[in-house]
Amino acid sequence: MSEPLSVAVRRGEIVESVHHVHAVAVQDGAVVASAGDPSLSASLRSSAKPIQALLLARARENLGEDDLAIASASHFGTAVHVEAVRALLRHTGGDEDELECGLQPGRSPEPIYHNCSGKHAAMIAVCRAHGWPVEGYRFPDHPLQRALAEEVAAAAEVEPEEVLTGPDGCGVVCFALPLECAALAFARFEMLDGGARIAAAMRARPLLVGGEGGTDTQLMQALPGWIAKGGAEGLMCAASADGLGMAVKCADGNSRALRPALAAFGATLGLDLSAFAELRLENSHGEIAATVSNL
């Protein structure tokens, strides 16, 4: 096992802190590059959203790119994002009152402004398509959540009992996998039933998947043909159109280390993410007071 990537926060001459980042790339079912521990278990959180959206793509063949992109999104709550969620609800017979994602601090006090509302709208649509009750769709014993757990396991080619679970921030079930399994799931994504449609939607509408300045949005803009989806606690999963999947995880969960780590690991794969190499932190005067870059 190689050493993890090291990302330093520098304040003038001071190295203020160092973040360790684990990364792995998988192609054709095999690890082709790694830094740190490829077997490190990571909570996928929102990185699982494209996989969760597979059930929607299969249930509703008539949905467009905006619908599938917002179903896979951790959106910024702008007017464009909220309208996309409302459109998905309209197209699938759902209602805002059925959203069980709760309210998100710092946003308008309506569930539709929650960054997971697109995923929840998709979950409501899947329940209707299968004749499952909508109420309580977020709980672990609901048939939807059981189906999603099986979907994540199948995408990563592991047994369902190998997928660890816990409560997510929006109230649904979240899943954990070893990083190499997460990378494999993304590497295989377009081969999965419904995956090609979702990937095409994410590529076409990267601003819906995140938002202006979002790391996953900008990664897709920087690498044409790639899909990317970030998760909480410093995780990024991504894949190329030809099946190179990668998963990058900040060990301490601090996402400020993610961009420099992506730049460094991407370089080992021949990817140009040089725009991510340094993050600049301003002080209260608007001056550059610190930088975050690879050690």
In contact, 262 and 236? CB cutoff 8 Å: yes
- Residue pair 208/66 in contact (Cβ under 8 Å)? The answer is yes
Element containing residue 122 per DSSP (H, E): helix 117-130
Of the CATH numbers 3.40.710, 1.10.8, 1.10.10, 3.30.310, which one belongs to the domain with range 5-294?
A: 3.40.710
Buried b (16+ CB within 10 A) or exposed e, 252-267: eebbbbbbbbbbbbbe
pLDDT in tens, 114-146: 999 999 999 999 999 999 999 999 999 999 999
Q: What is the mean pLDDT of residues 160-185?
A: 98
Cα separation values, 168 from 157, 175, 184, 231, Å: 22, 9, 22, 11
pTM: 0.96
Distance in angstroms (rounded) separating the CA atoms of residues 248 and 236 = 5
Mean pLDDT, rounded, for 232-259? 98
Q: What is the DSSP string of 54-79?
A: HHHHHH-TT--HHHHHHHT------H
Per-domain boundaries in the chain: 5-294
Kindly state the average pLDDT of the residues 255-259.
98
Residue showing tokens 């197209």:
91
How far is Cα 241 from Cα 187, in angstroms, rounded to an integer? Answer: 9
Measured distance CA(173)–CA(119) in Å, rounded: 12
Minimal CA–CA distance to 117: which of 153, 169, 165, 164?
A: 169
What pLDDT is attached to residue 157?
98
Both ends of the chain: CA-CA distance in Å? 19
* SS percent in the chain: helix, strand, coil, step 5: 40, 25, 35
Residue 172 confidence (pLDDT) above 80:
yes
Summarize pLDDT for 5-56 with one digit per residue, the tens. Answer: 999 999 999 999 999 999 999 999 999 999 999 999 999 999 999 999 999 9
Q: Which of 187, 103, 98 is nearest to 144 (CA)?
A: 98
Give the side-chain half-sphere CA count within 13 A for 138: 17
In angstroms, the Cα distances linking 132 to 67, 142, 146, 148, 245 are: 21, 9, 12, 14, 33
Q: Which of 127, 71, 118, 74 is CA-nearest to residue 96?
A: 118
Q: Is 1's pLDDT higher than 90?
A: no
Query: Would strands 5-11 and 227-231 be described as parallel, antiparallel, or unpaired?
Result: unpaired
Mean pLDDT of 69-76: 98
**Rounded CA separation 199/152 (Å):** 16
Give percent of the chain above pLDDT 90.
100
Is the per-residue pLDDT at 276 higher than 80? yes
Structure tokens at 19: 């973040």
Question: Any residues with CB less than 8 A from the CB of 103 and at least 6 apart, and which?
Answer: 109, 110, 111, 113, 114
State yes or no: pLDDT of 230 exceeds 90: yes
User: Could you report the per-residue pLDDT of 177-225, keeping only the tens digit for each?
Assistant: 999 999 999 999 999 999 999 999 999 999 999 999 999 999 999 999 9
pLDDT mean across residues, the chain: 98
